[in-house]
Amino acid sequence: MPRFRTVLSSLVICAALGLVSAVCACSSTGSAKRATVTFERQGGTTTDFPVEVVATPEDRARGLMFRKSLGESEGMLFLFPREQSLAFWMKNTFISLDMIFVSSDWRVVGVLKNVPPLTEDRRMVDAPSQYVLEFVGGFAERNRIEPGNRVIVSGQLPHSH
C-alpha cells in the first residue's frame, strides 16, 4: 500500500506541475506584444492607436476570435513573414471589424469596412500585403484611413513566423 501512495502522490504532483506549466504557457502567449500605430495621411497624421501584435501562425489564426468587445481606438496588428495575397474570415469573431491591409513598405493598400461578424466568407483586397490591422467597425471612416496612407509603428515588433 505505501508504494501505491507514493505512485499516486507522484502522479498528483506531476499533474499539478503540468497544470502550472499550462497556465504559465497560456499567460505568456496571452500577454501579447503591444505597439502603437499612427497613420500619416493627406492633411497630417492621426493620433496614436494601441495595438496588440500577433506574429505566430497560432496567434494570427486566433486573432480577435471570441472577443465580445474592442475599444474604439484599440486594434490588432497581424505580422506575416512576407508580402502576399492575404485573406481573412470572421469565424467566431463577434465584433464587426475594419480590416486595413498594409504593404511591406507600410502603405495602406486596401480597407474593408464594417466586415460583418460570424461569417466564414474570405475577405481580401486586390493588392498583396504583409501586415493587416483590425479595428472595430467604423474606425477607418472616423479616422479617414484610405489606400496610400502611410502606417507608422512605434514599439519593437517580434519576428513573424
In this structure, are 17 and 88 located in the same domain?
Answer: no
CA 54 to chain CA centroid, Å, is 5
Q: pLDDT-derived band of residue 93, with 50, 70 and 90 as boundaries?
A: very high
Q: Is 39 a domain residue?
A: yes
Query: How many domains is the chain built from?
Result: 2
One DSSP character per residue, 4-24 reads HHHHHHHHHHHHHHHHHHHHH
Q: Are 6 and 84 in the same domain?
A: no
Domain assignment present for residue 161? The answer is no
Asked whether the predicted pLDDT for residue 28 surpasses 80, the reply is: no
Q: Is residue 160, in this structure, part of any structural domain at all?
A: no
Average pLDDT for the chain: 85
Q: 105 burial class (0-12, 13-18, 19+ CB within 10 angstroms)?
A: exposed
What is the separation of C-alpha 4 from the centre of its chain, rounded to a whole number of angstroms? 48
User: Is 74 found in the same domain as 27?
Assistant: no
Amino acid 16: pLDDT: 38
Q: How far apart are CA 29 and CA 2, in angstroms?
A: 40
Higher-scoring residue by pLDDT: 160, 58: 58
What does the alpha-carbon distance between residue 5 and residue 67 come to, in Å, rounded to a whole number? 44
| Boundaries of domain holding 63 | 33-154
User: If residue 102 lies in a helix (H) or strand (E), which one and from where to where?
Assistant: strand 97-102
CATH number of domain containing 57? 2.60.120.1140
Tell me: do 57 and 134 sit in the same domain: yes
Same domain membership, residue 92 and residue 64: yes
Out of 25-34, 82-91, 148-157, least confident range? 25-34
For residues 81 and 95, membership in a common domain is answered with yes
159 within domain boundaries: no
- 25, 78: one domain: no
Average of pLDDT values for 148-159? Answer: 94
Task: State the burial class of residue 138 (Cβ atoms within 10 Å of its Cβ: 0-12, 13-18, 19+).
Answer: middle
pLDDT at 122 over 80: yes
Mean pLDDT of 78-82: 98
Beta strands 49-54 and 75-84: pairing type? Answer: parallel
User: Same domain, yes or no, for 40 and 6?
Assistant: no
Q: How confident is the model at residue 42 (pLDDT cuts 50, 70, 90)?
A: confident
The answer on 76 and 12 residing in a single domain is: no
- pLDDT value for 22: 35
Q: Has residue 24 got a pLDDT over 60? A: no
